[in-house]
Structure 1
């Protein structure tokens, strides 16, 4: 599937020209998404990366899946997209860090926080994740500043709109959801480990 240039860092495993595509819709504040993200890092990233069995054959794309019934979902996904622009090479590392600490952004912990306070907390996480010395952390914070117009959003609002529209046009309603070559693969579960992923790829890809 195609990606705008600013969102190329969302290819978290494999090469951009790989013929097969896994579109993986994840929400940073969804526990099942976090579980799948760890499996992706442990199983898919090595399998699709250099030296992996499926390198050059399959790419995995992280598709941000904002779920607005969680008030912080929009804010955490803005942060992920800001890292994709400010420090593309750190996008997946930041995403994993956010998944591991997602409980800090659940409904009750954030219920007494303003959006600005949540963004400040996310900026601190980005500063921990992006290698130092780096000017990218400052750029990240700038990308999350509200524009001067009363309802103008931030510098990553257009990227956020793209990800939401992409989910809507593909009928994606919940996270995690995975598409294989453009079709929803309902059999894929957040509980999958190395065996299930290996069996799936073996059946789908000619090596």
Structure 2
């Protein structure tokens, strides 16, 4: 697959006119909390009323952020596209401690290699990633996510935008009903 043409499937669900963009780092506990609410939000607000788009926001204090982000993008290039990427995000979130350092600097993961991290993601998600991870110019898609975040003044995860406007009053701790009300007035 490394030499084949590829396409990253956009990480978007729903087809409504209101666009809810979430800038997430897959190993961040607050991003995980937000991600776990998206299916409920789509059901409550209505897939015909909103579109949820995940934008990846790698962060250097999450030490394997770049490797895990590349795994998500790699998964989006596989048959099944965004649904494979969703499996990867969910698996990483469900096993965060396997992808994080203790207090962002120590612990058992100091001895883990990027190959170990990719293998863990594969094992937990059931998605075969090694070939897609090795796509030579996959970093173009990762750079797009980073550039898009910077252009919108996004520096941390999770950050939320509605229809292109950053929502500083939204939090991963908010109830799904509050998000739905903000999006569609429910």
- TM-score, normalised to structure 2, is 0.84
Q: How much has 1:7 moved relative to structure 2?
A: 4.0
SS in 2 for 1:6: coil
Deviations 1:160-197 (A, max 9, x none): 11111111111101110000000101111111123312
Q: How much has 1:69 moved relative to structure 2?
A: 2.0
1:103-122, aligned counterparts within 5 Å? 103-107=97-101, 108-122=107-121
Q: How much has 1:103 moved relative to structure 2?
A: 1.5
Deviations 1:95-147 (A, max 9, x none): 11211111110023421112222222223234x2x4xxxxxx2xx311223x7
User: What is the count of residue pairs matched by the alignment?
Assistant: 174
RMSD value, Cα: 2.1
**Contact preservation (8 Å) 1:70, 1:106:** yes
Query: Cα 1:84–1:33, aligned 2, differ >3 Å: closer, same or farther?
Result: same
**Contact preservation (8 Å) 1:39, 1:192:** no
Q: How much has 1:57 moved relative to structure 2?
A: 2.3
Contiguous gaps of at least 5 residues in structure 1: 48-52, 131-136, 148-153
- Bigger Cα displacement from structure 2, 114-123 vs 170-179: 114-123
Alpha-carbon distance between aligned partners in 2 of 1:194 and 1:144, rounded to the nearest angstrom: 33
**Contact preservation (8 Å) 2:91, 2:121:** no
Contiguous gaps of at least 5 residues in structure 2: 1-5, 102-106
Query: Cα 1:120–1:194, aligned 2, differ >3 Å: closer, same or farther?
Result: closer
Q: Does 1:19 align with 2:11?
A: no
Q: Does 1:197 align with 2:186?
A: no
Who is 2:104 aligned against? none
Who is 2:46 aligned against? 54
Q: In proportion to residue count, which structure has more helix?
A: 1
SS in 1 for 2:173: coil
1:51-200, aligned counterparts within 5 Å? 53-86=45-78, 87-88=80-81, 89-107=83-101, 108-126=107-125, 128=126, 130=127, 137=128, 140-145=129-134, 154-200=136-182
Query: Cα 1:32–1:163, aligned 2, differ >3 Å: closer, same or farther?
Result: same
SS in 1 for 2:46: coil
- TM-score, normalised to structure 1, is 0.76
